[in-house]
Amino acid sequence: MVIYVVKPGDSVFAIAQQYGVPIANIIDANELQNQNQLAVGQTLVIPNGTRRHMVALGESLYSIGNQYGVSVDALLRANPEIPQSGIIYPGQVINIPSPIQKIGSMEVNGYTFPSIDMEVLRKTLPYLTYLSIFSYEVRPDGSLSTLNAQPLIEAAREANVAPLMVITNIEEGGSFSSDLARTILTDQEVQETLLDNIVQTLENENYYGLDIDFEYIYPEDREAYNDFLRTTRERLEPLGYAITTALAPKISATQQGLLYEAHDYPVHGALADHVIPMTYEWGYTYGPPLAVAPISEVRKVLNYAVSAIPSEKILMGIPNYGYDWTLPYVPDTAAQAISNVEAVNRAVRNGAAIQYDQTAQAPYYNYYDEAGIEHIVWFEDARSIEAKLRLVNEYDLGGVSYWTIGRYFPQNWQVLTAMYDVEKVL
């Protein structure tokens, strides 16, 4: 597979000819709605594409490899007629192999709401190891909110995907509550009731395991949260249920802030089967325009995470969305969350050229709407997904976790399966 970046004057027909693949293959792989409308700078995945290059005067395998992002060894393997000395001649035509090669295997988790379109779920399940269904909200008395999860659980198990029950300290109709978490974590009677209800739901709904997403816990409740994890493991491990926890994206053990302090990375790493660092939301709804998950920031989190948690337990968070901000940015005004597919379609409709930030490893563009108001959009494309997925191999992680899978992003799954085999536990 090749990731192609659209240039001025490109067409799907010309790109297909260049790589010697049927037009339908490109349309299908990218789920293009209109093959005649492309944005300069957008990515297309080319399945089974091989580019050919005519050697120019003064070029070497090294310079050609740099141009296409492939190694000299890869060029030699793709062109067995070239001697090992690497001697090539002007006018010679050589094959350029894809820079994306199979690396290995990993586990993949996808978060979803029960309201997901079932056709989107059906298309996504083959690429998942786990399906985390969001969420059962804990109540102050230890009971749980109800969730219509059964259709998702049945679909997941039919596809050999392990369904996970997600619990959160979200107040019904509200947001994450520090006070609610304190009640659960410090009242032993309430906690026992909660664990009884968790076990009953796991059994009755045929879940594979539990995903705990408790956020904004008071720093002084850190040890109470650790004790809750110990008690939960003691209850669930004999019953054969897996435990996953979601973690704030910390870059050090002493990081300050309500989101971070109560999340004890070493304890979670010791007690949970998997941990999910939420490595996204640097660019967020009420913040200034930024890449949602700049790779430079993701690396900082992973550098700390692998020092405190066995790397094979880590499922790195990946965002499956982007944001559209109006400019000039006014603090505390809301950006619009959009899918990665809509981000490209919006660029096409507005005649915007997509740029790529090499530091953040993320695409973005500016455009003016019908009212003459300027916007900036940051999102994910095949290049940024490839860059993130390479971190799995670099840090020897267990895999990745997507928030969320509700908006289908075909290029993501094409890149993922080109690089890794998806492991199954069912």
Using CA atoms, how far apart are residues 207 and 231, in angstroms rounded to an integer?
19
How high is the pLDDT of residue 359? 97
Using CA atoms, how far apart are residues 32 and 23, in angstroms rounded to an integer?
11
- The active-site residue, picked from 137, 215, 380, 386, is 215
Establish whether 81 is a catalytic residue: no
Low-confidence ranges of the chain (pLDDT < 50): none
- Name the region of 142 (left: φ>0; alpha: ψ -120 to 50; beta: rest): left
Beta bridge partners of 420: 104
How high is the pLDDT of residue 172? 87
Stated pTM of the model: 0.92
Render 179-219 in DSSP notation, one character per residue. HHHHHHHH-HHHHHHHHHHHHHHHHHHT-SEEEEE--S--G
How high is the pLDDT of residue 49? 65
Find the helix packing angle between 340-349 and 410-419, rounded to 10°.
130
How high is the pLDDT of residue 324? 98
How high is the pLDDT of residue 173? 87
Find the helix packing angle between 12-19 and 23-30, rounded to 10°.
110
Count of beta carbons in the 10 Å neighbourhood of residue 345:
17
What sign does the CA torsion over 73, 107, 418, 296 have? negative
DSSP 65: H
How high is the pLDDT of residue 413? 97
Query: Which domains, ranges and CATH numbers included, belong to the chain?
Result: 2-96 (3.10.350.10), 104-319+389-422 (3.20.20.80)
Q: Where are the alpha helices (DSSP H) in 132-187?
A: 150-158, 178-186
* pLDDT tens digits, 295-335: 999 999 999 999 999 999 999 999 999 999 999 999 989 99
Angle at CA 12, nearest 5°, toward 8 and 18?
85
How high is the pLDDT of residue 1? 87
Residue 104: burial class (beta carbons within 10 Å; 0-12, 13-18, 19+): exposed
